[in-house]
Structure 1
Amino acid sequence: MARLGIFIGSVYGGAEDLAEALAESATSIDTQVYFDPTLDDFLNYKDDNVLIISSTTGQGEIPENLLPLYVALQDQFPLLPQQQFGVIALGDSSYGEDRFCGAGRQFDALLVELGAKPVQDRLDIDAGVHFEPLDVAQGWFNTFIAQI
C-alpha cells in the first residue's frame, strides 16, 4: 500500500483542520499527519509521497511549527529523487501577490531543488475568495491520491 505523509504549517488551525479532513478521506492509502515534523519524520517518506499543507504568515513566511523542517531540508539538502509530493498553500491575496501563499511557494521550490517530483501543480487557496478551503482542496486532493 502506498504511504502519504502530510506535513502541516499552521498558525490558527485552518491548515491543520484541512489536513485532518483530507487525511480522513484518504481511505485507499496509509496516511500520517505531522503537526511538528522533524527532518527524520520527513525523510521516512523519501521513497514515498508527501503533502505539504501550509498557511502563510506575516510577510509570506512559513509558520513556526513547519519552519524547522524547512530550514533542516535547506541546510542538509538531502536529495529526494524517489519522493513524490504535492503542496496546498493557504493565503490571502489582499496582502499582496509577493506574499500570497508564500510558505507553499517556498516549500514547492525547495522540494523541486531536492529532486522530488511534483504529482500535480501546487494548489493556492485564497482565503478572501474561499472561506472554506476544504471545498476547493477536496477535488485537488482526490486527483492527487489517484495519481500516487
Structure 2
Amino acid sequence: MNKLGIFVGSVYGGAEELAETLAAKLTSVPVEIFFDSTLDDFMAYDADTVLVITSTTGQGEIPENLLPLYVALKDQFPLLPKQRYGVISLGDSSYGEDRFCGAGRQFDALLSELNSQSVQPRLDIDAGVHFEPLEVADAWFSQFVATAEQAAA
C-alpha cells in the first residue's frame, strides 16, 4: 500500500472522528481524509487503497456529503481492478435489519461491482451495542492495514 484515501460519510461527526483517529494511527504511508469527495479524488486511488467510513441516515441511506461520490461512481462506472478497499459502516440496528448500516452495504456492493478488491469483510458497528465505535474499529483497522500492505507487496 503506497497511500490510503479515507472517504467519509457523516451527519453528526461520529464517522469523521473515527476516520481522524484511525488515520492518526497509520504512520507507514500517506493518508488523506475526504469529507466532501469528488470522483477525481476517488480515482486518484484507482491503483491503491481506499477506506470508506460512513454512517447511515434515515431509511438506510448514504449521508449527503458522501452521496455525490456514490452517484458519480454508479453513473460513470469506472472499473477498478487494481484498487483495494475496505468499508466501516456505522448504524443502529434498532431501525431494522433492512436499514442497519445500509450506506456501508451500498458502498461495499458498488465497489465490488466496480471490480475493486475487498481487503477484508465490511465492519458493521451497531451504535446500540458499541457507543464508542473505536472499540470495535481499532482491531479491524490494524488487520485491514496489514492485509492491504501484504496485498500490495
What is the TM-score of this pair, normalised by structure 2?
Answer: 0.96
- SS of the equivalent of 2:124 reads strand
Asked whether 1:134 is paired with 2:134, we answer yes
Per the TM alignment, residue 94 of structure 1 is displaced from its structure 2 partner at its CA by 0.1
1:10 partner amino acid? S
1:23-73 Cα shifts (integer Å, max 9, x gaps): 000111211000000000000000000000000000000000000000000
User: How far apart in 1 are the matches of 2:28 and 2:93?
Assistant: 34
2:88 partner amino acid? I
Structure 1 segments unaligned to the other structure (5+ residues)? none
Q: Percent identity?
A: 72
- Residue aligning to 2:58: 58
- Residue aligning to 2:72: 72
Cα RMSD after superposing both structures: 0.6
Structure 2 segments unaligned to the other structure (5+ residues)? 149-153
**Which 4+ residue blocks in structure 1 deviate beyond 2 angstroms?**
none
Per the TM alignment, residue 102 of structure 1 is displaced from its structure 2 partner at its CA by 0.1
Matches for 1:28-47 after TM superposition, within 5 Å: 28-47=28-47
Per the TM alignment, residue 127 of structure 1 is displaced from its structure 2 partner at its CA by 0.1
Per the TM alignment, residue 2 of structure 1 is displaced from its structure 2 partner at its CA by 1.4
What is the TM-score of this pair, normalised by structure 1?
Answer: 0.99
1:2-31 Cα shifts (integer Å, max 9, x gaps): 110000000000000000000000111211
User: How far apart in 2 are the matches of 1:115 and 1:30?
Assistant: 24
